[in-house]
Amino acid sequence: MNAALTLIVVQNSLRGDGFLSLACSSGRETVVFEARSSASYTALTTGLAGCFTCQTGGVMAREIKLTKAGYERLKQELQEEKQRLDEATRVLQEQMESYEDYEDSGLEESKREKARIEARVDSLEDILQRAVIIESAEGDKIALGSIVLLKDEKTKENLTIQIVAPAEATILEDPMRVSDESPLGAALLGKKEGDKVRIETPSGKRRYAVLSVGA
């Protein structure tokens, strides 16, 4: 590597699958680096700093905007994951002390499970460390945190969603929390009651009418 080369960080983000993504540009081309945990991300950026001159443009620790409820949910999840990690560590330790065959599939699965939990703990800690709690959405335009009542113009069914950051997005809650970076979330931002949006989905084009916007 050429130590004289300057890399400019052009994007720093947390992907929906839990990977931390760092995009760097040399002016001629852009390279994307990925890390599974905040610890790996730190090692990555430290390594890059040792090989290149890095200009961050102030985006190395990008803020993650969360609703207050979302922040509290993630804090609770972190506590639960830490408890799971303690239990996984205990089980693995007991297995290592009692198993003579270190290639045993149960032991290997316990190691993988512990690693998965550690990665989730790292991810949650990073999210919460960079979190900025947003105020309740106000006004008549859809913004982060808005609760929106939609009507599917094809099925005529109503759908209530909340627009949130990717870290909060889930289809398992009511109302369903939709990422502002998803096609639907991005299309709705800035819209107001009475507006309509059209998005592309795997099953074809869908049109939604905005029936109401709340906080």
Secondary structure class of 72 (helix, strand, coil): helix
CATH placement of domain 64-133: 1.10.287.180
Q: How far is Cα 41 from Cα 108, in angstroms, rounded to an integer? A: 25
CA-to-CA distance for 75 and 80, rounded, in angstroms? 9
pLDDT given at position 214: 86
Residue 173: Cβ within 10 Å count: 11
Q: What is the pLDDT of residue 160?
A: 94
> What's the confidence (pLDDT) of residue 213?
93
Q: What is the pLDDT of residue 86?
A: 95
What phi-psi label fits residue 78: left (phi over 0), alpha (psi between -120 and 50 degrees) or beta?
alpha
Predicted TM-score (pTM) of the model is 0.62
User: Helices 105-129 and 68-98: crossing angle, nearest 10°?
Assistant: 150
Query: Residues of the chain whose pLDDT is less than 70?
Result: 1-61, 99-105, 137
For residue 104, what pLDDT is reported? 61
> What CATH number labels 147-214?
3.10.50.30
Structural domain boundaries in the chain: 6-55, 64-133, 147-214
Contact 88, 117 (CB under 8 A): yes
Q: What is the pLDDT of residue 14?
A: 44
Measured CA to CA, the distance from residue 191 to residue 62 in angstroms comes to 26
